[in-house]
Amino acid sequence: MISLKNVGKKFSTADGEFQAVSSVSLEINKGDVYGMIGFSGAGKSTLLRMINLLERPDTGSVFVNGVDLTKLAKKDLLKQRLSMGMIFQHFNLLSNRTVSENVSFSLEIAGVAKAERKKRVNECLEIVGLADKANAYPAKLSGGQKQRVAIARALATQPSVLLCDEPTSALDPQTTESILKFLQEINENLGITIIIVTHEMEVIKSICHKVSVMEDGRVVETINLADSQFKPKSNIAQFLFKKELELQKEEGIVNVR
């Protein structure tokens, strides 16, 4: 469904050019919950933003449902972008708009008529369980509620993909768990493909089917978490999955006995 081919991005900085992402290729299937993990500065956010071309790659191609986004005219790109919702660590809600006005925002950009917008906003607030907060302002909401509003806004245009940049990194562990459970339901019930960038292993372990491990702008390894005997090869993946590898080893010993 999404296929990145040799995408790269460099930024000009005061110290010269900096290669944030170097020739990354990967495939994400429809219905996947796909994780990207790595330390701060690894290039995760830049890579995620290249999937909907918020960041235009210097090299390579981004195929979504067979269409190369890097080749589209601006108008067609904006249309494609509506099929991809996005949520962020700090929610990015508009503080001077109510909850329902925030959710309505993406529909206004999409040019949806007022009556239809109202109907869809209500549906989305029902999905995230915040219909009773429709007229509240973001400042009155908890972190978890704010992220739910952001999810409702992302879902409003009925995207087939949800891009999540550190969606739980500003939340406490309990709220993190409930938001992750909620993202999993969205994936299972609405069939939406989810791509999550995070530096938190708990996020990967709790809901991802696959994970790409990033280091210094490269994907060093992609692991299929459905395989309970997965064997990380890179040092960084072995470090991140240390506990799982120890468990595999213990189980192996038990099975041999």
Ligand X SMILES: Nc1ncnc2c1ncn2[C@@H]1O[C@H](COP(=O)(O)OP(=O)(O)O)[C@@H](O)[C@H]1O
Candidates 20-28, 38-46, 140-148, 230-238: pick the segment binding Mg ion (CB under 5 A): 38-46
* Nearer CB in complex with ligand X: 11/239: 11
Residue 48 contacts by C-beta under 8 Å, 6 or more apart in sequence? Answer: 36, 163, 165, 195, 197
* Nearer CB in complex with ligand X: 52/145: 52
Q: Do residues 144 and 66 make contact, with C-beta atoms less than 8 angstroms apart?
A: no
* Nearer CB in complex with Mg ion: 45/168: 45
> In the window 9-38, what residues touch ligand X (CB under 6 A)?
11, 13, 18, 20, 38
Candidates 12-20, 40-48, 105-113, 181-189: pick the segment binding Mg ion (CB under 5 A): 40-48
Separation CA 133–CA 172 (nearest Å): 21
Separation CA 257–CA 253 (nearest Å): 6
* Cβ neighbours of 19 (radius 10 Å): 15
* Nearer CB in complex with ligand X: 13/189: 13
Q: Name the burial class of residue 172, with classes exposed (0-12), middle (13-18) and buried (19+) by CB atoms within 10 angstroms of its CB.
A: exposed
Q: Name the burial class of residue 193, with classes exposed (0-12), middle (13-18) and buried (19+) by CB atoms within 10 angstroms of its CB.
A: buried
Pick the binder of Mg ion from 4, 28, 37, 45 (CB under 5 A).
45
Q: Do residues 7 and 53 make contact, with C-beta atoms less than 8 angstroms apart?
A: no
Backbone angles phi, psi at 36, to 5 degrees: -130, 115
Contact call for residue 168 and ligand X (CB under 6 A):
no
* Nearer CB in complex with ligand X: 154/197: 197
Candidates 42-50, 153-161, 173-181, 205-213: pick the segment binding Mg ion (CB under 5 A): 42-50
Quote the least distance from Cβ 232 to Mg ion, whole Å: 22
Q: Name the burial class of residue 31, with classes exposed (0-12), middle (13-18) and buried (19+) by CB atoms within 10 angstroms of its CB.
A: middle
Quote the least distance from Cβ 19 to ligand X, whole Å: 8
Pick the binder of ligand X from 42, 125, 152, 207 (CB under 6 A).
42
Contact footprint for ligand X (CB under 6 A): 11, 13, 18, 20, 38, 40-46
Q: Which residues form the interface with Mg ion (CB under 5 A)?
A: 45
